[in-house]
Amino acid sequence: MKKNAHKRQILKFAVLKNITRAALLVSLIALVSVVAFILIRGLPHINMQLLFGEYTSRSPSLLPAITGTLYIIVISILIAAPIGIGSAIYLTEYTNSKSRLIRIVRIAVETLAGIPSIVYGIFGYLVFVVALGFRYSLIGGGMTLAIMILPVIVRSTEESLLAVPLALREGSFALGSSKVRTIFSVVLPCAASGIVTSLILAIGRVISESAALLMTIGMVVNKVPENFASPGTSLALNVYYFGSHGYPEEAAATAVVLLVLVMSINILATALGKFFGKGELAHG
């Protein structure tokens, strides 16, 4: 009786094991087919005109999107990197001071990380587009994304700062260095690779983002932006625009460009992490 139940349980789990294998297969097929289909549909339509040509409605070009994406990366990283790294330093190096503040900061960072990007989009629209009068502009979009990637930078920078051995700091203090000097000449150089990796991951997020930009930069797909204050578009936004405005081939081609870009950024981040022996940081 009991033995029978036992056998049945063993059998049940053996079946379950095979179900997990089926699940693995399903997952792989699903994910591989996404990439494969995008490549099959998009690759034949990639050409110089699409990438760098002049935009005409008959033969659209990604030049405005590429320029816009670069602008947005620059703006958001310039704003978010110093603030994010600064917060991470405060959270790790000054832990013994006001711990209450640190707890609130942690909660704020966690909460920011959980807010959907479309809500950032509304916020960016209300603040930058309307209240500050920037209208639809790359700078408004960049600032919105800066807030959005802040949690990414804070968290991964914090991790790489924590990975710096305490002994190094103590050694520096023992030699008479001040706290600031210790941070800048001992802790930060040691954590540099991790910080760079975190910034690369943040750039990946910026490139991938579309919903928040839809509300803030105007999706002007046909004009290369003149400066930070111009309205514009991004590669991810162009995938949506082309997809829903009767340019399916261009949409797939744009998706391929985006895919290659994001993949190479992730590979770069992983490689950097490995190179400096901190592979853990790369899985963001």
Which residues ranging from 243 to 272 are in contact with other proteins (CB under 8 A)?
Answer: 243-248, 251-252, 255, 258-259, 262-263, 265-267, 270
Asked if residue 186 binds other proteins (CB under 8 A), the reply is no
3-state secondary structure of 253: helix
- Site residues for other proteins, 16-55, by CB under 8 A, read 16-17, 19-38, 41, 55
Stretch in the footprint of other proteins (CB under 8 A) among 45-53, 66-74, 125-133, 165-173: 125-133
Q: For the segment 55-74, give every residue that binds other proteins (CB under 8 A).
A: 55-58
DSSP code, position 223: S
75 or 207, CB closer to other proteins?
207
Mark residues 77-96: x for contact with other proteins by CB under 8 A, - for none.
-----xxxxxx-xxx-xx--
Residues 210-239 interacting with other proteins (rule: CB under 8 A)? 210-211, 214-215, 218-223, 231, 236-237, 239
Residue spans of alpha helices (H) in 53-187: 63-93, 99-114, 117-124, 138-162, 166-174, 179-182
Cα separation, 181 vs 183, whole angstroms: 5
Contacting other proteins within 95-124 (CB under 8 A): 97, 101-102, 104-105, 108-123
Choices 43-51, 70-78, 187-195, 206-214; region in contact with other proteins by CB under 8 A: 206-214
CA atoms of 180 and 63, how far apart (whole Å): 44
Contact window for other proteins (CB under 8 A) among 43-51, 68-76, 148-156, 186-194: 148-156
Stretch that binds other proteins, among 43-51, 69-77, 189-197, 203-211 (CB under 8 A): 203-211
Determine which residue in the list 47, 59, 178, 185 makes contact with other proteins, applying CB under 8 A.
178
Closest listed residue to residue 238, CA positions, set 112, 125, 78, 72:
72
Smallest distance from the beta carbon of 134 to other proteins, in angstroms?
A: 12
In order of 27, 170, 194, 218, the CA distances from 241 in angstroms are 28, 55, 36, 11
User: Please, which residues have CB within 8 angstroms of residue 247's CB and are 6 or more apart in sequence?
Assistant: 60, 241
222/246 Cα distance (integer angstroms): 15
* CB nearer to other proteins: pick between 35 and 43: 35
How many whole angstroms separate alpha carbon 117 and alpha carbon 210? 8
